[in-house]
Each structure stands twice: as C-alpha cells, then as structure tokens.
Amino acid sequence: MSMLRTTALLLTLVFPSLSALATEYPLPSPKSRLVGENLYYTVPEGKHTLEDIAAQFQLGLSNLLEANPGVDPFLPKPGSKLLIPKQLILPNAPREGIVINVAEMRLYYYPKGKKTVEVLPIGIGQIGKDTPENWVTSVQRKRANPTWTPTPRIRKEYAARGEILPAVWPAGPDNPMGLYALYIGNLYAIHGTNASFGIGLRVSQGCVRLRHDDIEHLFKTVPIGTRVQFVNQPIKATEEPDGKRYLAVHQPLSRTIAEFESNEPVALSLPKDIAKFIAKADTDSSMIKKLLDERTGVPAIINQ
C-alpha cells in the first residue's frame, strides 16, 4: 500500500471527522490534555506546494514548517517525508467556547454540550498590528458577506505603496474579510480571506483569519455570546494519567521586525508553571534541551 493511501487510511481511523471543515478530537479526561496522533506523508510527484499540503491536512503553513525543519516552504521535494503534526497538547485555558493560541496559530473550539474540540489553523496580525494575546471577550455579532472599512492608518499605508483603498470595501469574494465574520470587541473579528495563502502566517491587520470553509463552518455553528479567549502559549505541557509528562515547544512570536528577519532564534522564557513542571528528578535534561532548541511544536515525553 502506498504511503498516500496509508495516510488516508490512518486519517480515517484516527480522525473520523477530519474534513475540509475542522479536525475534531474527542475531549480527553479533565486530568489529560493530550489529543491525537502524528502522521507521516510522502510528497507525491508533481508540483505540490506546502500550502496545498497544509490545507489538505487542516494545518497552517507554520505548523508544517515547525514540524519539518529544512523543508522547502514553497515546493517540497517529491518523495520526501513530512511529519503531519496532529498530536496536540490543549492550551492551558478553560475548555469553553473558543480558545486562540496565537503562538501556535491555532483556534480551539469547544462546542457547548459536546465532548469534543475542533481545531482550526489561523493567520494572525503582522508585527506592529498584533492580534491580542491575553484577552477574554465574546462573539458579539456575526455577519455574512461583511464589508471592510479600512482605518485611516491602513489607507495611508496602502497609498504609500500606490494602492488606493475605498472608504468601504463592498461585500463579495474579493473582500479581504472573505464571506463570513464573527465580531469580537470593537476592533477585532474572526473572519475569512480573499487570499489563497497566509493561514499559519502573520499577515493580517490584527484580526484572526481562517480559510473559507473553516470560517463558514464556525459562522454556522458558533452562537452569538460564545466566550473567546486569546492566549500566547509557545510552550505547552501536560502530565497524563499514566504518569508520562509531555512538553511541546513552538517558536515564540517575534516582537520586532529585526527579530522576525534575523536568523537568530527569538528569545524563549520559561513561565513559572513550566519551569516547575520541568524541574523534577525524572526529567530527561537532554530532551528538554532538544525541545527548546528545535521548537518543532510536536509533543514529546520528557520523563525517563
């Protein structure tokens, strides 16, 4: 059986609800935060972009780039094997409503009354136009076919590049907000996009972007009033009921253009709860160093 067919079979077995809409995981017990299993995928012959592969597996571009250091960010080599990071540690946040972890560029949705979590990849704000990082709000209204009213600052920036924006961009498939929007607060929204690229990247004016099918799914299933929490957790940890302790380390968000454009890794600090989690006698220090150095976002066992 080919690797592609094997992968498809594994997806059916492990993620029966994986589709173009969302990856849905059964919720683990309250004492567990580990969900899913990783997969491997062999890039077939032909011009298959990494964005195409990311979309196929419900991932953002950064998720694949982190998990596969050295992969070509545009056209991965046919025959090369990619790790598909489908094993996740749930964010350290209430399992309620929507939780957005900007550090890993994923949105977690806990539907009320269901023992599941849906995970979707997102695009977030550019440096200087940051998406909120520590904020609790709610879905205040929803709108299909939204218009876009660019701020004076945005219009000025576009004008400097020779692009003149209208005062109000009309609704439609060419609208930068896509075809659906969930408004949270006065300045931000969770919305679609008119672009075919950018999910898993820092591309927006501060809002949260999703692929068309994903935002349509949320629009149809997320009620007004749903709790929304933003967190910034590049390091996630869990001690499972069997005693195994897992750590997942993502690249932290750059704070400046200089950091973003540098080849040097962004400084990574350990929150107190993570430092305490690591500081145990059975911790494998070599594994900790590996995770902090590589920052693949993939959970790994850290106790011997």
- DSSP state string for 70-125: T--SSSPPTT-EEEE---EEPPSS-SSEEEEETTTTEEEEE-TT-SEEEEEE-BEE
User: So what's the pLDDT on residue 21?
Assistant: 63
Burial class from Cβ neighbours inside 10 Å (0-12, 13-18, 19+) for residue 83 reads middle
Active-site amino acid positions: 191, 207
Q: Which two tokens stand for residue 212?
A: 């068309």
The per-residue pLDDT for 154 is 87
So what's the pLDDT on residue 153?
86
Show the beta-strand stretches assigned E in the chain: 23-26, 34-35, 39-42, 81-84, 88-89, 97-101, 106-110, 116-121, 124-125, 135-138, 141-144, 180-184, 188-191, 202-204, 208-209, 227-231, 235-239, 245-249, 300-301
**Amino acid 7: pLDDT:** 36
pLDDT at 255: 87
Give the pLDDT score at 114.
97
pTM for the full predicted model = 0.91
The pLDDT value given to residue 257: 84
| Amino acid identity for residue 250 in this structure | H
pLDDT of 231: 98
The predicted structure's pLDDT at residue 185: 84
Q: Which pLDDT belongs to residue 10?
A: 39
Domain ranges of the chain: 23-36+87-231, 235-301
pLDDT by position in tens, the chain (length 304): 333 333 333 343 334 344 446 899 999 999 999 999 999 999 999 999 999 999 999 999 999 999 999 999 999 999 999 999 999 999 999 999 999 999 999 999 999 999 999 999 999 999 888 899 999 999 999 999 999 988 888 889 889 999 899 989 999 989 999 999 999 988 899 999 999 889 999 989 899 999 999 999 999 999 999 999 999 999 999 999 999 999 999 999 998 887 888 888 899 999 999 999 999 999 999 999 999 999 999 999 999 8
CATH code, 23-36+87-231 = 2.40.440.10
